[in-house]
Amino acid sequence: MIRRIAIWPVYVAFALLCGRSILSQSPSVPASQLSEVRFESFDATTGTLFVTDCIRTSASKTALCGLTTVRIAVNDKDLRSQIGSFAAGDHLELTTDGKPTPSLLGVEIKTNPSPNHPISLLNRVWLFLACATFLLAVTALILAIASKKDSWNPLRLKWNPLSLILGEDNRYSNSKCQAALWFWVLIAGYLYLGLLRYLYAGADFIGGIGIPQALLMLSGMSALTFAGAKGITTAKQDAATQAIAANPAASVATKTQNSGKPSLLADLLSNDNGQFDFGDFQMLVVTALAVGIYLVQLLHFTVTVEYRHGVTLPDVDTTILAAFGLGQGAYLAKKAAGNVGSS
């Protein structure tokens, strides 16, 4: 009995210590989810994120922001680095610790639809084709009106958008075709991305679309090739005309006018004499390959729409850019080295 009484104080002390430990622990606060906020700024010195709460109803595509300004502490270095990629106006999804002074636990750019349910490939293809067809129709209308200045009757206009790439010799021009094709792809891609952002993110995200540097370089190379080819042909034609004027009996090659109906594929693969031209073939293959790969990149880029205030079109692959440049150089070299009317 005496031994049992002596042990009781030990039991009591152990129970008091356990109870004090349990009471001293603060209750866990569940994480809080902010489904949509607008990024305003981030103070890297204090690690404070400033966002504005947004409300988006199912009936409206545009979110109503500016209701509540929230300050959130960002203590994690990885999260601070991730926040550095956002710009003012981007819409985010945040996870905080739910405390009165919240701390950031996770951040993601808001997308529509979610990455687990992307936009179907069929919808993306049809939407791009709609934008490309619209641009082609506008081009055809402008060319038709320009060709018939004295007539505004739609039935009397010549609806042929391919006349844009028709040369003065009544043949389809490789350099014109390439420049027009890249312009068509670039503008159609811009319209497609803008329309997609409007349909899935709202009117606030229509604009803000940039063009990457490599894509601009590729488009610029197409324009330079067209101007260079035109300059080379004109210079050679002028020289041939002057040689004939100085000596009418001299045999000088000149650029002839195509008396038949122009054929797109035949003109793009052959010279002015109707012979197969490997330089033209190489330029056509490289151009078609670059356009095809870029369209695949564009469709893959738009599997979801990010709620970013500013986005850029997908950039072209550096290998394609290099191959494209080599093709342009070979085409111009062939034009410069060959005889007028056969190169």
Q: Which residues have CB under 8 Å from 173's CB, separation 6+?
A: 165, 166, 167, 226, 229, 267
268: enclosing H helix or E strand: helix 264-269
Residue 14 placed within a domain? no
- In this structure, are 178 and 249 located in the same domain? yes
Residue 38 has what pLDDT? 92
Instruction: List CB contacts of 106: < 8 A, sequence separation 6 or more.
Output: 79, 94, 95
DSSP 99-136: SSS-BEEEEEE-EES-TTSPPPHHHHHHHHHHHHHHHH
Q: Does 206 lie in the same domain as 96?
A: no
Give residue 140's pLDDT.
79
Q: Do 297 and 155 fall within a single domain? A: yes
DSSP 8-state assignment for residue 255: P
Nearest to 198 by CA among 76, 79, 311, 316: 311
Q: Based on the domain organization, do 69 and 209 belong to the same domain?
A: no
Domain of 71, in residue numbers: 32-109
Over residues 25-79, the pLDDT tens digits come to 444 446 788 888 999 999 989 999 999 988 877 656 678 887 778 899 999 999 9
What's residue 244's pLDDT?
60
Strand arrangement of the beta sheet that strand 91-96 belongs to: 64-73, 48-55, 32-43, 91-96, 104-109
* Same structural domain, 54 and 84: yes
Looking at the structure, do residues 293 and 219 belong to the same domain, yes or no? Answer: yes
* 129-161 pLDDT tens trace: 999 999 988 887 777 777 665 555 555 556 677
Assigned domain for 26 exists? no
Q: Are residues 187 and 315 in the same domain?
A: yes
